[in-house]
């Protein structure tokens, strides 16, 4: 085994006591601020997130990778950070949920790669208590380097001073950010709105955010200076076999289907596949292809338009009836059912590749890490949906939950179709993914 290479790059890991503290808004503002200074900023997002990376990619002008020790593996995360450090002037990592939530947590990721942590906290309605919480977080584990506190939604300079005075010397106040609703990012029922839908609005908010982090309450802010460099080491990843050479994969990508990891696209191309994108919403012609990928997204917001594009539905049905390989994930799975009841209780016919009915269910749903137990092998995955399916066929298998013994999401197989609520991380088992897209499917167990 070759000795690992090392490269240094300034880096900061933004985490928080909980969701909703302003991590994404502040990460995006920092990315835009340093980008405006002529710096190359590479941003990473902890965990299986599709929407935050879209926002952060627009803010930074660079692709955003998801990092997750369970989903992608330690070596994968290590190599991606090393590759970014070779060209970046700054690496920012946005955590997920609370600092210590999940197994592995944001804290685990920061500790593993020795990235200094900035604790982001919405301090509205508290002062010294914010210092107490931040101090508790900073001292909860001794394997984490905490750079300091970013106090978000700070009211006045006096408010900031109360927090600053209550913090120990070992935990500096990195920034005090004033309350400014114009900077906050727009949201909807599964999280942030997709970046492409509000591009101009986001540009305005990013520009405001870059000013915000050095605004009236920010005279002593340290986050406008590059953090200390971190040493990132290379890692050895297994070579990818050209298992999809000569195969063309048609991929649904539009307002309704956009939950696509760039890492998944890259892996398909590295295995030799040619990729063609199309829109089930707007196109009337399915591209010539050997296999089809219907990823997740927001079909419930576009159910009527999807239903009315009967030409596309008919072509996808013909593709399925010909026995060609199709992978349908979450929103793509709903599109494959006979009908979908949207958020306004309209029941609309879908493509009908698979028996069953889909329906939105308000704020109730399912989320969490699962392993897709496919006949071709195990693939790391996650679920995040607020819908249900009913009257579906007998599954070929189920997801295996990370920490719970109950069966996870059902996995269906009809002809060449593999469909489930699960979003798959392809790099966790390239051979199984290649088998799905090449049609080399194992018999039902």
Residues assigned a catalytic role? 330
Q: Which of 89, 52, 86, 87 is nearest to 67 (CA)?
A: 52
Place of tokens 């590059």: 226
CA 157-159-164 angle, 5° bins: 90
Report helix, strand or coil for 16: coil
- E strands, 68-183, are 90-94, 117-122, 146-154, 173-178
Structural element, H or E, at residue 340? strand 339-341
Can you tell me the distance from the alpha carbon of 176 to that of 160, in angstroms, rounded to the nearest whole number? 6
Whether the Cβ atoms of residue 146 and residue 176 lie closer than 8 Å to each other = no
Place of tokens 């902890």: 46
Whether the Cβ atoms of residue 425 and residue 364 lie closer than 8 Å to each other = no
Q: Give the distance from CA 209 to its chain's centroid.
A: 22
- E strands, 350-406, are 357-360, 366-374, 377-385, 387-390, 397-401
Region for 8 from its dihedrals, namely left if φ exceeds 0, alpha if ψ lies in -120 to 50, beta otherwise: beta
Q: Give the distance from CA 104 to its chain's centroid.
A: 16
Write the CB contacts of 6 (distance below 8 Å, at least 6 apart in sequence): 231, 232, 233, 234
Q: Which of 62, 21, 33 is nearest to 208 (CA)?
A: 33
310: DSSP letter: H
């Amino acid at each position: 085994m070759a000795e690992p290479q090392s490269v240094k790059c300034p880096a900061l890991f933004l985490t928080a006591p909980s969701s909703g503290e302003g991590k994404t808004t502040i990460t995006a503002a920092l990315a835009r601020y340093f980008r405006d200074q002529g710096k190359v900023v590479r941003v990473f997002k902890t965990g299986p997130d599709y929407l935050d990376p879209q926002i952060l990619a627009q803010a930074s002008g660079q692709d955003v990778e998801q990092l997750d020790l369970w989903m992608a593996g330690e070596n994968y995360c290590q190599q991606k950070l090393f590759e970014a450090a070779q060209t970046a002037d700054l690496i920012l990592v946005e955590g997920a949920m609370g600092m210590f939530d999940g197994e592995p947590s944001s804290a685990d990721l920061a500790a593993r790669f020795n990235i200094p942590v900035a604790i982001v906290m919405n301090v509205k309605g508290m002062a010294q208590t914010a210092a107490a919480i931040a101090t508790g977080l900073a001292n909860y584990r001794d394997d984490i380097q905490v750079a300091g506190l970013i106090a978000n939604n700070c009211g006045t300079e006096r408010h900031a001073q109360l927090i600053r005075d209550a913090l120990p010397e070992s935990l500096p106040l990195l920034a005090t950010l004033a309350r400014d609703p114009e900077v906050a990012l727009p949201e909807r029922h599964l999280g942030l709105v997709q970046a492409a839908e509000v591009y101009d609005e986001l540009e305005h908010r990013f520009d405001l955010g870059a000013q915000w982090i050095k605004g009236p309450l920010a005279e002593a802010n340290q986050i406008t200076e590059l953090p200390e460099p971190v040493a990132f080491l290379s890692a050895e990843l297994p070579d990818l076999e050209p298992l999809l050479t000569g195969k063309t994969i048609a991929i649904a990508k539009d307002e309704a289907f956009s939950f696509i990891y760039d890492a998944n696209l890259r892996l398909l191309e590295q295995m030799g596949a040619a990729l063609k994108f199309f829109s089930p919403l707007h196109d009337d012609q399915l591209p010539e292809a050997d296999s089809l990928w219907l990823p997740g997204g927001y079909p419930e917001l576009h159910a009527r338009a999807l239903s009315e594009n009967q030409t596309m539905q008919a072509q996808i049905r013909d593709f399925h009836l010909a026995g060609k390989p199709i992978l349908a994930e979450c929103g793509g799975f709903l599109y494959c059912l006979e009908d979908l009841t949207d958020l306004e209780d309209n029941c609309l016919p879908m493509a009908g590749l698979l028996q069953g009915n889909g329906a939105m269910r308000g704020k109730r749903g399912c989320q969490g890490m699962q392993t897709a137990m496919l006949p071709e092998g195990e693939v790391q995955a996650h679920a995040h949906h607020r819908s249900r399916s009913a009257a579906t066929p007998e599954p070929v298998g189920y997801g295996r939950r990370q920490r719970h013994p109950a069966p996870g999401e059902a996995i269906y197989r009809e002809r060449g179709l593999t469909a489930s609520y699960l979003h798959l991380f392809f790099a966790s088992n390239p051979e199984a993914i290649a088998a799905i897209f090449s049609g080399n499917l194992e018999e039902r167990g």
